[in-house]
């Protein structure tokens, strides 16, 4: 089994889900994807996470992001669990949950860590861009719920830095100042790209207002 790393191409797959069969590349299209795994159905932390994902549907959509979940439990269990999620989290699950009973996707994405569990997936997150490149990964233990504000923040950073020659500093959030990448040195290009100006803290640390704001 090969461990997936940043910059690798996300593997394609076909798997059943609560929204019908998913052919991953076809389903993803030209969207960004958040693929995230769950140790098991009818578990408390997972229930809150899937409810939160559904509640953030508008936030994902405006970033051109499609969420998709995976658990190694079968489809019948998923369908029953969705009813619980909708009721307890006061939402409507509106994204696929892959029924990965054969662990095809879990093993393809190295989501099973034997020293934690030989059967259940860890809480993995893969942020995948429209070219199917893995841009960010997170791995959480089964007991710790994910921070979806952080997932959205990372997507904001990736989309911003893909389109402008900037990087985002510590604790950055959408609307905050950013830093100009060190490779950009031409004064004319800097002036053109950042008409709001910039502050030189050090030659390698140049701060500028977020350029797409």
pLDDT in tens, 28-61: 999 999 999 988 899 999 999 999 999 999 999 9
- Asked if 145 contacts 48 with a C-beta cutoff of 8 angstroms, the reply is yes
Angle between helices 148-163 and 44-55 (to 10 degrees): 40
18 closest CA partner among 89, 63, 84, 88? 84
The token duo for 178 is 């950013």
Residue 99: count of CB within 10 angstroms of its CB:
23
Catalytic positions: 46
pLDDT of residue 3: 82
- Within the chain, strands assigned E span 14-15, 22-23, 32-38, 65-71, 97-99, 123-128, 134-140, 166-167, 178-180, 199-202, 205-208
Edge-to-edge order in the sheet of strand 32-38: 97-99, 65-71, 32-38, 123-128, 134-140
Domain 14-145 has CATH 3.40.50.300: no
Summarised one tens digit per residue, pLDDT across range 126-184 is 999 999 999 999 988 878 899 999 999 999 999 999 999 999 999 999 999 999 999 99
- Asked if 37 contacts 142 with a C-beta cutoff of 8 angstroms, the reply is no
> Is residue 63 predicted with pLDDT exceeding 70?
yes
- Asked if 135 contacts 160 with a C-beta cutoff of 8 angstroms, the reply is no
- Asked if 137 contacts 124 with a C-beta cutoff of 8 angstroms, the reply is yes
Summarised one tens digit per residue, pLDDT across range 70-126 is 998 899 999 999 999 999 999 999 999 999 989 899 889 988 754 445 455 567 999
Stretch(es) of the chain classified as CATH 3.40.30.10: 14-145
pLDDT of residue 115: 46
pLDDT of residue 118: 45
Q: How far apart (Å, rounded) are the C-alpha atoms in residues 13 and 115?
A: 26
pLDDT of residue 59: 98
């Amino acid at each position: 089994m090969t461990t997936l790393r940043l910059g690798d191409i996300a593997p394609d797959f076909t798997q059943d889900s609560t929204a019908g069969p998913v052919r991953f590349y076809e389903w993803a299209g030209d969207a960004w994807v958040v693929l995230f795994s769950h140790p098991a159905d009818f578990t408390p932390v997972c229930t809150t996470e899937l409810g939160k994902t559904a509640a953030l549907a508008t936030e994902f959509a405006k970033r051109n992001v499609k969420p998709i979940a995976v658990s190694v439990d079968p489809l019948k269990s998923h369908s029953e669990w969705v009813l619980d999620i909708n009721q307890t989290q006061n939402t409507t699950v509106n994204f696929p949950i892959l029924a990965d009973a054969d662990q095809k996707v879990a093993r393809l994405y190295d989501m099973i860590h034997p020293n934690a569990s030989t059967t259940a997936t860890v809480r993995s997150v893969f942020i995948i861009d429209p070219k199917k490149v893995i841009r960010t990964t997170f791995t959480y233990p089964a007991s710790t719920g994910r921070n979806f504000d952080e997932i959205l923040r990372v997507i904001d950073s990736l989309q911003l830095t893909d389109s402008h020659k900037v990087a985002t500093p510590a604790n950055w959030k959408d609307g905050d100042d950013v830093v100009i990448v060190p490779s950009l040195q031409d004064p004319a290009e800097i002036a053109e790209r950042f008409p709001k100006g910039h502050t030189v803290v050090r030659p390698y640390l140049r701060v500028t207002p977020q350029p797409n704001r």
